[in-house]
Amino acid sequence: MLSLYRPGHSVLHRLPAGPKMLVLAVAAIALAALPTAAGAAAVCAGAVLLAYVVPGVGLRELGRQVWGLRWIFAVTAIGQLLFLGPEPALANTARVTAAVLVAALVPLTTRVDDLLDALERGLGPLRRIGMDTERAALLLAVTITTIPVLARLAAEVREAQRARGVRPSLRAGLVPFTVLSLRHADQLGEALAARGVR
Amino acid sequence: MDATDLARVAVFAALIAVLGLPGSFPVFGGVPITAQTLGVMLAGAILGPWLGALSVTIVLVLVAVGLPLLAGGRGGFAVFLGPTAGYALGWILGAIVVGLIVHAGNRRPVWWRTAFAMVAGGVVAIYALGVPVQSLVTRLPLGDTAIASLVFLPGDLLKAAIATIVVTLLVRAYPRGFRRQWRAAPVEERVAA
Amino acid sequence: MILHCRDLGVRLDGRDVLRGVTLDLDARTIAVIGDNGSGKSTFARVLAGLVRRDTGDVRVLGLDPDTDAAEHRRRVALVLSNPDAQIVMPVVSEDVAFSLRPQRLPKVERAERVARTLERFGLTDLAERPAHDLSGGQKQLLALAGAFVREPGLVVADEPTAYLDARNARRVADHLLADDGHVLVLVTHDLALARRCGAAVLFTEGTVSAAGVASEVVDEYERALVC
Amino acid sequence: MILHCRDLGVRLDGRDVLRGVTLDLDARTIAVIGDNGSGKSTFARVLAGLVRRDTGDVRVLGLDPDTDAAEHRRRVALVLSNPDAQIVMPVVSEDVAFSLRPQRLPKVERAERVARTLERFGLTDLAERPAHDLSGGQKQLLALAGAFVREPGLVVADEPTAYLDARNARRVADHLLADDGHVLVLVTHDLALARRCGAAVLFTEGTVSAAGVASEVVDEYERALVC
Ligand SMILES: Nc1ncnc2c1ncn2[C@@H]1O[C@H](COP(=O)(O)OP(=O)(O)OP(=O)(O)O)[C@@H](O)[C@H]1O
Ligand SMILES: Nc1ncnc2c1ncn2[C@@H]1O[C@H](COP(=O)(O)OP(=O)(O)OP(=O)(O)O)[C@@H](O)[C@H]1O
Ligand SMILES: O=C(O)CCCC[C@@H]1SC[C@@H]2NC(=O)N[C@@H]21
Ligand SMILES: [Mg+2]
Ligand SMILES: [Mg+2]
């Protein structure tokens, strides 16, 4: 549920997480650094098409991604059109969108587990400068476990309000939701302590 | 940081994530105007500056790793190449500022101090990082970007108001949640209450 | 007829959670029992108007939760297990008053009804206390007060005693079962409590496997449990 | 002596939550009963080493939770009511393995012990599932697995069956009461379950008002409930 991963057999799916991240990050940053010129927009479009079609991720997925970015797209394009005019607007919007689309290939083709492992390896050297990487990994894992629990608590609060005949609202819902979350945290803290976390 | 702090940090990170889920709470929750900044403000106000900032950081790390925890189900380090990257990083600073102001001194916060914290941390601090980065990414001059970012302002002020109400109610309804002792309210406040 | 269902079906996330539920019950107190996941809470939510049926027909006090929504909402209240989720306002009396908001009563009458309800549930002395500082039992009594202050015709309660000790569970049950003009539908795992009701419904994997006199239905469930 | 307390006292937020608790019990299964707010959970937390006593003396399996903290922590496990709050890792088998982290076992032995424990609690088929996908009863079995995988000498369980239906409650209780080398301290509102224990302690407003053979203590509590 909590994942952007789309199962598949493309080259990118088979590449190990670390190198893949590196390559796509470099590509995305290179796109982001292109100059504001009409030609750059063409380069962006070509690069994105290449990045989705050649490894075998496909145009359908590209379409879904573009649709998912429509708001970001609007935020960028409208300001640009108003203040800078059509040509820079096209170039800059294409540049930003292309960088984001290429970078989006990482979570699309990599399982969350593999990404977390890659992260842990990446954080390894920080241990030497005194970072408690084990505790950091624990925090990430506990957060992932807790998200569906809190989502259920939010649903419970919504339901309780409707049951009391009032329309659920953010303002009225947030107080009970926060209290429930804090109580959950108390119990979770106890359970962690009882299982050896100090 | 004991086990309870660890749990509270994780739970608030999860709370920020849940505020970005569609349908978790009505009214807000779209892109790019998101209820998640409310979670950021609450994290700072309730957990305090440092644990609050840590829980925001956890959310951003999970996002960077590829979990779709931002409003609209967005995730991956792509987010940090987009125009809203600076705002997202600004959440960390925002939680710190909110926490510092709400937890300043050893008196329980009155509503106007909380309101000030929410505007200074939950709005100004976030924009202070968000606008320049947006300008950098989109290559729109800083002044123009600042004007464009005004579309967020009504929503953000409303969220600051909601966060103020929620924190003020929580101070009354569940003081234990702040996990600290406050000195009794000064005399004039008690008379007013 | 207090409760009438014909061929009621509910799908959630592509799963048939309730299938072919057909019932006609006229008791003042109706228990709903069955295993975890058998569909009891979903059934309670349909009666309370929180979940829509996908097929079939439901009538609660003669009202259809879908088409008579406004009147249904006014007359039906729901009580859940977790009191923390049900408390909305920071102070006890404010929380009870919160339930009366949609009714736009004159201030004096509103205050009077809140006071009367607090009295009835033994909460008068706690009226000005922070709501979340109460004990579990007191919080559940507050949740009941928030439901009963609207003077509902039907109260749906989903495991209202799950988190309570024997004494508090009995107090809450006594309030719910009291004969004061409301009908009760009570989802519970406490079979002794179910026996105190007039009628009972047994759910098994989304269908009704028995309905009728409470003691007989509970007996049947206990026999099933043993094997 | 399995459980020894002399004049134990605990203050929380300036309130005496436990006062003058004196006990000597040697049963393999010990029930802790009493009203909401009587101090049962606080007592359980003292035994589990999560709350420090302020006065008096405690010995659990002969160990002082304060001064023998490391050894005590190794030998005592805690099970709570809310399964959601006890599950720490996202995947079932990872969560069980998490309990073994402080012990730094070789990888193979660790995997073996996890597998054996999953088997024992009927969770083998669910080992790779996300924990939040499990039903309430399965989650509580997972919480038990997380406690038992450490092969504790004493298990403290605080209302472990509160959220479960009759069938799941019985499965969990059977695991807890099983005679396999651990001692059980069981806080419960389920008096039938308390009767199945060897000994019982009755708390009233922070003090012990009865202790001894379970059935006698439960009888006494029930008499007090009636009046
Ligand atoms: N929103 C939902 N989406 C999908 N499935 C659901 C949803 N709510 C409930 N279910 C499923 O429907 C079935 C019946 O759930 P329900 O909560 O009605 O059972 P119950 O009898 O109340 O169980 P319990 O005794 O554990 O409270 C379960 O299998 C549950 O997983
Ligand atoms: N952290 C705390 N700070 C202050 N008071 C507390 C704290 N924890 C518990 N108490 C109080 O101590 C008393 C005993 O609480 P405890 O949870 O031990 O009771 P209990 O017997 O387990 O009740 P229940 O049956 O409701 O679980 C209660 O009055 C409670 O309000
Ligand atoms: O979701 C993202 O992409 C990251 C955060 C962007 C949201 C910013 S925070 C300040 C402003 N107010 C909003 O409601 N949204 C933006
Ligand atoms: Mg249910
Ligand atoms: Mg307790």
| Mean pLDDT, residues C178-188 | 92
| Mean pLDDT, residues C89-98 | 89
**The predicted structure's pLDDT at residue A7:** 87
Residue nearest atom 18 in ligand 2 by C-alpha distance: D39
**The predicted structure's pLDDT at residue C135:** 80
Alpha carbons D134 and D144: distance in angstroms, whole number: 14
Task: Flag whether pLDDT at C71 surpasses 70.
Answer: yes
Residue of D nearest to A191 (CA): D86
Residue nearest atom 7 in ligand 2 by C-alpha distance: D12
**The predicted structure's pLDDT at residue B180:** 85
Residue nearest atom 17 in ligand 1 by C-alpha distance: C41
Measured from the Cα of D42, ligand 2's closest atom is 18
* Mutation to test the C interface, candidates D138, D141, D189, D225, most C Cβ within 10 Å: D189
Comparing B23 with D223, the larger pLDDT belongs to D223
Q: For chain A, which residues lie within 8 Å of any Cβ of chain D, measuring from their own Cβ?
A: 1, 141-142, 144-145, 148-149, 152, 184, 187-188, 190-196
pLDDT tens string D76-129: 999 998 888 999 998 999 999 999 988 888 989 999 999 999 999 999 999 999
Contacts of D189 in chain C (CB under 8 A): 164-166, 169
Alpha carbons C66 and D209: distance in angstroms, whole number: 54
10-residue mean pLDDT profile of chain B (193 residues): values are 94 96 66 89 97 98 93 90 95 98 91 96 97 94 93 94 93 85 61 44
**The predicted structure's pLDDT at residue B193:** 42
Contacts of D82 in chain A (CB under 8 A): 184, 187
pLDDT band for A123, please (50, 70, 90 cuts).
confident
Residues C139, C144, C147, C151, Cα dihedral to 10°: -140
Alpha carbons C197 and C186: distance in angstroms, whole number: 9
Residue C81 is encoded by which pair of tokens?
A: 């297990």
Asked if residue A6 belongs to a domain, the reply is no
Task: Flag whether pLDDT at C23 surpasses 80.
Answer: yes
Buried-exposed string D185-217: b where 16+ CB fall within 10 A, e elsewhere: bbbbbbbebbebbbbbbbbeebbbebbeebeeb
Asked if residue A120 belongs to a domain, the reply is yes
**DSSP helix, strand, coil percent of chain B (3-state; round to 5):** 70, 0, 25
pLDDT band for C73, please (50, 70, 90 cuts).
confident
pLDDT tens string A16-58: 988 899 999 999 999 999 998 888 999 999 999 999 998 888 8
Alpha carbons B166 and B107: distance in angstroms, whole number: 18
Q: Which ligand is nearest to the CA of C135?
A: 2
**The predicted structure's pLDDT at residue B190:** 46
**The predicted structure's pLDDT at residue C58:** 95
**The predicted structure's pLDDT at residue B84:** 93
3-state secondary structure of B82: coil
pLDDT band for C16, please (50, 70, 90 cuts).
very high
Q: In chain C, what percentage of residues exceed pLDDT 70?
A: 100
pLDDT tens string C101-140: 888 889 999 999 999 999 999 899 999 888 877 888 889 9
Comparing B91 with D170, the larger pLDDT belongs to B91
Task: Flag whether pLDDT at C89 surpasses 90.
Answer: no
Q: At what angle do helices B3-18 and A170-194 cross, to 10 degrees?
A: 150
Pairs of residues, one from chain A and one from chain C, whose beta carbons lie less than 8 Å apart? 60
Task: Flag whether pLDDT at D150 surpasses 80.
Answer: yes
Mean pLDDT for all residues in chain A = 89
pLDDT tens string D156-168: 999 998 878 778 8
Residue C12 parent element (H or E): strand C3-12
Residue nearest atom 11 in ligand 3 by C-alpha distance: B152
Domain D3-85+154-225: assigned CATH number = 3.40.50.300
Task: Flag whether pLDDT at C202 surpasses 80.
Answer: yes
Mark out the alpha helices in D76-190 (DSSP H runs). Answer: 83-86, 92-98, 107-120, 136-148, 166-177
Measured from the Cα of B35, ligand 3's closest atom is 14
**The predicted structure's pLDDT at residue C137:** 84
**The predicted structure's pLDDT at residue D168:** 87
- Structure-token match 């809450």, residue found: C172
Task: Flag whether pLDDT at C144 surpasses 70.
Answer: yes
Residues having CB closer than 6 A to ligand 3 are B 32-34, 37, 70-71, 79, 84, 87-88, 126, 130, 152, 155-156
Measured from the Cα of C41, ligand 1's closest atom is 22
Q: Do A180 and C48 touch (CB under 8 A)?
A: no
**The predicted structure's pLDDT at residue B26:** 60
If phi > 0 it is left, if psi is from -120 to 50 it is alpha, else beta; for residue C151 that is left
Indicate the residue type of C164: L
Residue nearest atom 25 in ligand 2 by C-alpha distance: D36
Asked if residue A4 belongs to a domain, the reply is no
Chains in contact with B, where contact means 3 or more Cβ–Cβ distances below 8 Å, are A, C
Q: Which ligand is nearest to the CA of A76?
A: 3
What residues make up the domain containing A129? 11-194
**The predicted structure's pLDDT at residue A170:** 77
Comparing B184 with A135, the larger pLDDT belongs to A135
Residue nearest atom 10 in ligand 3 by C-alpha distance: B87
pLDDT tens string B167-191: 998 888 788 889 888 876 555 444 4
Q: Are strands D55-60 and D76-79 parallel, antiparallel or unpaired?
A: unpaired
The nearest CA of chain C is from the CA of B147 a distance in Å of: 38
Residues having CB closer than 6 A to ligand 1 are C 12-13, 15, 17, 34, 36-42; D 136, 165
**The predicted structure's pLDDT at residue C111:** 93
Residue C193 is encoded by which pair of tokens?
A: 């409590």
d(CA C140, ligand 2 centre) in Å: 16
Hey, which residues 109-148 in chain D have their CB within 8 Å of chain A?
Answer: 130-132, 146
Q: Do C132 and B173 touch (CB under 8 A)?
A: yes
Chain A contact for B81 (CB, 8 A cutoff)? yes
Q: Do C102 and A157 touch (CB under 8 A)?
A: no
Hey, which residues 91-110 in chain D have their CB within 8 Å of chain A?
Answer: 94, 98-99, 101-102
Alpha carbons D122 and B47: distance in angstroms, whole number: 39
Residue of C nearest to D138 (CA): C36
Chain B contact for A181 (CB, 8 A cutoff)? yes
- ipTM of the complex in this document: 0.88
Task: Flag whether pLDDT at C226 surpasses 60.
Answer: yes
Max Cα–Cα distance, chain B, nearest Å: 55
CB-nearest to D35 from C36, C37, C165 is C165
d(CA D43, ligand 5 centre) in Å: 9
The nearest CA of chain D is from the CA of C35 a distance in Å of: 6
| Mean pLDDT, residues D198-223 | 95
**The predicted structure's pLDDT at residue A117:** 83
The nearest CA of chain A is from the CA of B191 a distance in Å of: 26
**Number of domains forming the structure of chain A:** 1
